[in-house]
Amino acid sequence: MSTPLLNLMDYDRESMLGLMAALGERSFRAGQLLQWIYQQGVFDFAGMTNLSKDLRGRLGEIAEIRGPEVVGDQTAADGTRKWLLQVDDKNRIETVFIPEPGRGTLCVSSQAGCALNCSFCATGRQGYNRNLSAGEIIGQVWLADRLLRAEQGAASSPITNVVMMGMGEPLLNFDNVVSAMRIMLDDYSFGMSRRRITLSTAGVVPAITRLGNECPVSLAVSLHAPNDRLRDELVPLNRKYPIRVLLDACRRYVAGESRRRITYEYTMLAGVNDAPAQARELRDLLVNTPAKVNLIPYNPVPGIAYRRSDPATIDRFRDILLAGGIMTITRKTRGADIAAACGQLTGQITDRTQRSVRLQRHGAEAN
């Protein structure tokens, strides 16, 4: 049986340095390889002309550069773009690009499915199959960058921001997600700043602390409720890491960073979490916390009974928070007509048997 080829998209700078050392090459070759892959978009080793002929030949024998395969491509009326990507013979994931004047945000998936089963989210209803590799995560950025540059004839990347808000819970795939984000940050790759990369989590508390130590990018927390009783229903992970424990971890994450805030995401569900009393409860919960609240009008999902709060209710909720000194905005819904909006991503996850195994492994008693 032949040995599988190494996918160099699984390699950040540190692991690429290790590979070059194993091949007897000097360390600067690692940076050259990253530049060819991510800045030049070259995936044929023969075209990497500043590498020695011997190294190109050896890489051709043991390695490849393989990104996800596009099997679906939709554009919404508002310009939002969604790609359906094949990652293996069982699973397809979705990646979304949201263009705005002077800004382009790519929403990236971290898992095939999601194990957390939040009650209002389409992704969780699909079940969970597996973590994506670092290459499958950064491959979404690499692919979108190549496609958008080619179509727009752009010299620089149309992608200015990356949000780890697609399918899956990023902090349950910690090592691969951090490796991919390090490639995004690397000056030899995409050279993005930490403030332009945002990781969204439902609240895997130990991993929040670890992220702060290893790769402190911008953090968004899917809160969605002002108390444990309601959050237990909406976000079952709360039974493992209740709100007070979660908020303590968030405060530690930004400790000593005077300009850094945690973004708290709050999906507005009619008659569930949108009452003025709940707004006041949320205000009191976040007082004296470096917080920004994103109110997200609920995006309907077939088979899920929740309804979106009406605009007047959302405005009233927002005004209570603003009056309490909590920076609050209402997120504009983008891409809903192609099911590309927040909470609507599903992909195609054919193996739905792994949720309970995954949750037990991480101690997240969410069923």
Q: Is 281 a catalytic residue?
A: no
Ordered alpha helix ranges (H), 63-152: 122-125, 134-152
Closest among 142, 167, 162 to 69, alpha carbons compared:
142
Residue 318 and residue 297: Cα distance in Å, rounded?
12
Closest among 197, 66, 176 to 131, alpha carbons compared:
176
Count of CB atoms situated within 10 Å of the CB of 91:
22
Q: Which of 64, 136, 342, 365 is catalytic?
A: 342
Residue 334 and residue 137: Cα distance in Å, rounded?
22
**Count of all residues that appear for the chain in the document:** 367
Report residue 264: phi and psi, to 5°.
-105, 120
Q: Which of 94, 136, 169, 265 is catalytic?
A: 94
Using the Cα atoms of residue 307, residue 359, residue 169 and residue 63 in order, give the sign of their dihedral: negative
What would you measure as the largest C-alpha separation in the chain, in angstroms?
Answer: 69
Residue 87 and residue 84: Cα distance in Å, rounded?
10
- Sequence-distant (6+) residues with CB within 8 A of 263 are 198, 218, 219, 220, 221, 291, 292, 293, 294
3-state secondary structure of 138: helix
CB-based burial, 284-321: b 16+ in 10 Å, e otherwise? ebbeeebbebbbbbbbbbeeeebebbeeebbeebbebb
Q: Is 257 a catalytic residue?
A: no
What torsion do the CA atoms of 350, 348, 221, 297 make, to the nearest 10 degrees? Answer: -130
Count of CB atoms situated within 10 Å of the CB of 75:
14
* Residue 153 host element (H or E): none
Token pair in block for residue 338:
């192609």
Catalytic positions are 94, 342
